[in-house]
Amino acid sequence: MGSIERIKNVASRVAKWHKAGNQVVVVTSAMSGETNRLLGLAKEISDQPDPRELDMLVSTGEQTSVTLLAMALKIIGEKAVSYAGWQIPVNTDSAHTKARISSVNDVKVRRELDDGKIVIIAGFQGVDKLGNITTLGRGGSDTSAVAVAVSLKASECMIYTDVNGVYTTDPRVVPNARRLKTVHVEEMLEMSSLGSKVLQIRSVEFAGNYEIPIRVLSSLTDPLMPLEEEANSGTLVTSFEKEINMEKIAVTGIAFNREEAKITVLGIPYCPDIAHQILEMVSSENIEVDMITQSRSKDGTNDFTFTVPRSDYSKVKNILDAKKENIDVDEITSDSGVSKVSVIGVGMRSHVGVASKMLRTLSEENINVHMISTSEIKISVLIDEKHMEKAVSVLHNTFDLQNS
């Protein structure tokens, strides 16, 4: 939806699917740069705009794109109708700028579909119980699309973006990264949580909870490409294990997050409640903690280490420094020059030796590991940021992801 020309291309693609006999519902995002423009206008008025009014403002971006797409479809002879989120309605809670969807009323949409129309719904937005317009946060149009697909019991939710699928890792870091034909929804959740920008994590959660397959594919391809070719392009994100050979490979992809920071609290008392006290100070400021380790020192005290987003690094330091005496610590150290690298794969459930292979590879490249965390389908390490790209590249090669 980057320009009028792109909107016309979208109209051609949508019309192709409709003419083939499909009922089609389209959820759109705003035109490229429009949300940032609107946020910029708000910032010119106030450094901290009122959340309710901010939602009223930024929701207009999607309302512009749905009407333009409806116009473009009508010009080429299609019956189409556009709706804002509140007109459907897409029902949400009242958490302005980061609302969560509670339900989608599909009555109006089904009526329009039965009338032979293409229905176009503004993504990223909804309405609360008081009738206030709400927005879902960055990338919220993905979540809107999956929620609408769930409500309509759609066979598949196709999400068109500026990439042609999900890759084994970022091709900008590893040029021979391979596009995945299928990926398990649990793997996609891990990739999204670890920094992959292909899909918003909440949309993946929706898809997993309600078993709606998502197909990620490119909006930059020929809009008139054959239906069968397009229907099998991109990457299918699914929870149906029959679609994926989970026994074949242990590792599906390598994810990374550059923007990490590490905080270590040294010499804290050895007592059950101290870790809780530290984390409560941080979480009370709405700061997300990721990796956590605690170790016992020879003198009987504990050292407690955790990571936070680098954007919150200074804030966390200030919080802990201000309350240092309250929690009786020897010293607080920190490092904002670290990054997280993770190997991900549902096949790890049935394969052993992934962790040792990962750590051996990093050791052979003289890359020191600060912290390690694991789950059933993920192993993450915290390393110096200067080694991040090298680590991603050698691990991608070690697990032969370019050929799997």
More confident residue, 273 or 385: 385
Beta bridge partner(s), residue 160: 217
Specify the CATH number of the domain 253-398.
3.30.2130.10
Q: Please tell me whether residue 360 adopts helix, strand or coil conformation.
A: helix
Residues in the chain: 404
pLDDT band at 163 (very low <50, low <70, confident <90, very high): confident
Helix locations, 222-291, DSSP H: 227-231, 274-283
Q: Which of 206-215, 309-318, 355-364 has the highest mean pLDDT?
A: 355-364
Contacts of 288 (CB under 8 A, 6+ apart): 308, 309, 312
Q: What topology is assigned to 4-241 in CATH?
A: Carbamate kinase (3.40.1160)
Q: What is the pLDDT of residue 241?
A: 59
Tokens 């054959």 -> residue:
226
Mean pLDDT of 154-176: 92
Q: How far apart are CA 367 and CA 361, in angstroms?
A: 9
Structure confidence by residue, pLDDT tens digits, 21-42: 999 999 999 999 999 999 999 9
**Residues 361-376: tens digit of each pLDDT:** 999 999 999 999 998 8
CB 53 within 8 A of CB 59: no
How many whole angstroms separate alpha carbon 84 and alpha carbon 112? 14
**Would you list the domain boundaries of the chain?**
4-241, 253-398
Q: Which pTM does this prediction carry?
A: 0.83
Half-sphere exposure of 204 (CA within 13 A, CB side): 22
Q: Are 344 and 255 in contact (CB under 8 A)?
A: yes
What strand order describes the sheet that includes 133-135? 101-104, 90-92, 125-127, 133-135
Pick from 81-85, 109-113, 148-152, 238-242: least confident: 238-242
How far separated are the first and last CA of the chain, in Å rounded? 34
pLDDT over 80 (residue 178): yes
Token pair listed for 322:
């201000």
Q: Count the neighbouring beta carbons within 10 Å of the beta carbon of residue 45.
A: 11
User: Which residues, at least 6 apart from 383, have a Cβ–Cβ distance to it below 8 Å?
Assistant: 338, 339, 340, 341, 362, 367, 368, 369, 370, 391
Dump pLDDT digits (tens) for 219-270: 989 999 999 999 999 999 998 755 555 555 789 999 999 889 999 988 887 7
